Each structure stands twice: as structure tokens, then as C-alpha cells.
Structure 1
Amino acid sequence: MSSPRPGRTGAVAPAVAVLLIAVLLGALAGTWPPFVAVESGSMAPGVERGDLVVVTATDRAPWGDLSTASDPNAPTRLGGDGDVVVYAVPGAGERPVFHRLAFPVAAGEDWTERADPALLSGDCAELSTCPAPYDGYVTRGDANELYDQSAGIAPVVPDARIAGKALFAVPNLGWIRVGIDAAAARYGGVATGVVLVGSAGLVGGFGALLLGRLRRSTRR
């Protein structure tokens, strides 16, 4: 009798499972994608380059509203006080930044009066982001020497620019996402997706074949 072979369903099952897990995680987190690959060391040592960070929507229960490092009894997130968020920088191709909320500011406020002088490169008159043009937040990478708004990384960050906040980080798992993003940037998203799905199918088919052989050998 011929030995059973894994069918096409078994070959693509791993890819389908990964997709379903990602969709489920996105539904629970309330944001998409539900994770961020860290590409710099600006949030060290709490989050290192290559880590994969799971994020959730800013108003998603049970994690509550946004908290800053200056808030009384602020929760500890990824090695520091206050929430770490993903926000987009306007005029920079919507480049995402993954930094901590330092403190909130109001429109027209000279926020340097409440800032840590050691994290400023000048007074309000010397900074293009001061006074605050609108309500929002001053932010900073834990490993950076200046606030984002003092270093020229970003203007004051309004709520509308915040895509999500971090829940926890998985060390080194983000290198996979970094590699996928690099491949997509070079070869295109569709081509990269086809290769990934095909690779998952091949790995699944090989795994099913190997498992079948192991099962047959144990029955002898």
C-alpha cells in the first residue's frame, strides 16, 4: 500500500493558523498591526533593538486611558513610569516613533517651564515646538538625551497621532518583522507576502511529512 501523503490543506494549515492568530490578536488589541518591531535603541534598556512589542488601542479595556511619566501613581510600562506609545510624525511619511509619554501640555503653554532642564536644548523661544500649538504630549525615548520636541524628532504629539500603546515586549522576536519590512521595501509587499505564504506552506508540508513518518515508524 502507498503511504499517505500530506494534502494541500495540511501544507497551508500553518500559514492559515498564523494569519488567524494575528487577526485574533488584532481584534483583542483593537489596533492593527497589533505589534511593533523595535528598530532602534532609543528605548533601552526596557526595550532593546529587535524586540517585538505588543500594542493595544489607547482606549482599550482593561488598560485604561493614557498615562504619562508625570502622572501620580503612573503605571510602570517597559522599565519606566507612564505609557509607551506608537505615534506618527507628520510630514515624514507617517514614520512611526515608539517613545514614552513624558507629560501632557495645553495649547499655547510654555511647556519648558515644567520640563526637566537637562532634557532641553534651549528655552521656549529657541524651540519651534514651543509654545505648544495644540493640546498633546511631550515625549522621549528612555535612552535619549533630549525630549523629542527639543531634539527635532517630532512636534507636540496630539491624541489623534497616537496609534497605540505598548503592553509588553518579546525579546528578539522583532527581527522577523524587521526582515519582512526590509524585504517588502525592496521587493514589494505582494511579492514578499507570496514568498512568506509559500514558505509557511513548504515548512508545514515538510513538518506534516516528517510527523507522518515518525508516526509510521512508531507503529512498527
Structure 2
Amino acid sequence: MLLGLWTPMVAVESGSMVPNMNIGDIIIVQGISRTDVITWEEGKARGYRSFNNPGDVILYRPYGKEKLGVLDIIPGILGIGSSGDKATPIIHRAMRWVEMGEPMWDGGPPAPFAGYITKGDHNEVIDQMAGRILGVPNYAYIREHPERFRETADGILIDRETGLVIYSHGNTSYVTDGISYLTPVRKEWVIGVARYRIPYVGYIRLIPEMIVDWIRGII
């Protein structure tokens, strides 16, 4: 169990961290139980940098969703199931920590709970701004179809079929998309901290998923 994780390596699958992490890079991750997270704000004040910018890059499960595996993908390809309840972990920089009720950005809405504000180095906006409110939930439907929804320990409901997220803030409930829209990243969702980068080796790991995407496109 190297660096506190049973599987301490992940392959980068998107360009959100370019140029500091590129598609196909392998990232060595230290388990969160073995380290602390230094945010961009803290790193800038202390002169601490990681992957060319202040602060740590963290690997986290969006909304606490479970990791998407090959066995989850296959039913969706065959049209006999869905994997909306699961998601590939996100590897983005921890920008700052907010407490519940603090604005998530200057002039932004209050955080529904405490957590990290995160951002891809190549992205223009933080993760908490990247998404949409699609509407308000139909709780009568949710009560009638409890098997369709999974509730996290944080009280967030995840639609198993679509992956959409339902959460309450104050007296209002929302249905949202995006990887962490209007929700900070709770400590419990953080898998680990990125420590080292091995350029492009991850393409070997990504090839099977590229083939799956190609087959899905044909179907």
C-alpha cells in the first residue's frame, strides 16, 4: 500500500489541469489519511507550490459519488442499465476552505456545508460555478421510487440513472448537474493529494476506455 492508497496511481483523462497535468499522464497520489491538504490561499502565503502553482492538487469524488469501473460501464453499453450514480474521480486544485454559510466566491452564494473550493488549472471558473440548476425536485416521485435514488452520508440524493444531484440549502431544494456545482468538496470526499507525475504513460490505461467510448458511439 504505497503512499497510503491501495491504488496510488491515476491516469489523467481530461485537459482541465493543462499544462501542469496532461491527458495520459500518470499521477501518483498520497492517501488523504497520510497527509494534509494545503490550499492555494495557504500555499501562496507560505510560498508552497505543487505542480507549478500554489497549493495542493487533490483527487476527489464529486458529490461523494462512487468510482466508475468497467463492470459499471458494460451494462450501459448494452442498454440494460445505467451508471449515473457513479463517477470518475476529479483531480483539481484545492483553492480555499470555506465554512458553512461563507460565500463560495466573492459575491457568491453561501456554502451549504464546509469544504474545499476547487478548480482545474486550465479552467476559467471554479468547479462550484461550473454547472446549472435544472429545477426543483419532485419529492412525491422520489418517495414513490426510493430504489432510484441513493442518499449520501451528507444528505445529498443522487439519481442512480442520470447522475443528477438533489440537495437542500435552507428552505430550498435544487436539482443540479456539474461536477461540484454550488457544493464545496467535503473532506470525506477527498481521496488523496497528487504528489508526482509520470508523463503520458497513462495512455496505456486509457486505451480500453477509449475503445469503450468508440463502441458506445457506434451503438
TM-score range, shorter chain: 0.5 to 0.7
Q: Distance in 2 between matches of 1:160 and 1:105?
A: 15
Q: Is the 8 A contact 2:104 2:128 kept in 1?
A: no
The aligned residue for residue 73 of structure 1 is 46
The aligned residue for residue 95 of structure 2 is 102
Q: In percent, how many aligned pairs have the same letter?
A: 35
CA shift for structure 1 position 179: 1.8
The aligned residue for residue 132 of structure 1 is 111
Helix, strand or coil for the counterpart of 2:86?
A: coil
TM normalised by structure 1 equals 0.60
Describe the shift of the 1:89–1:74 C-alpha distance in structure 2 as closer, same or farther (beyond 3 A).
farther
Q: Distance in 2 between matches of 1:183 and 1:32?
A: 26
Higher helix share: 1
Indicate whether 1:49 and 2:23 are aligned: yes
Amino acid aligned to 1:47: M
165-174 or 92-101: bigger deviation = 92-101
Q: Distance in 2 between matches of 1:104 and 1:111?
A: 9
The aligned residue for residue 159 of structure 1 is 187
- Unmatched segments (≥5 aa) in structure 1: 1-26, 114-122, 125-129, 188-220
Higher strand share: 2
- Unmatched segments (≥5 aa) in structure 2: 66-84, 132-178
Indicate whether 1:112 and 2:105 are aligned: yes
Q: Deviations over 1:59-106 (max 9, x none)?
A: 31xxx4110000021531112111101111126523311100000000
Across the aligned residues of Structure 1 and Structure 2, the Cα RMSD in angstroms comes to: 2.1
The aligned residue for residue 121 of structure 2 is 142
CA shift for structure 1 position 57: 0.8
TM normalised by structure 2 equals 0.60
- Among 33, 54, 57, the residue aligned to 2:7: 33
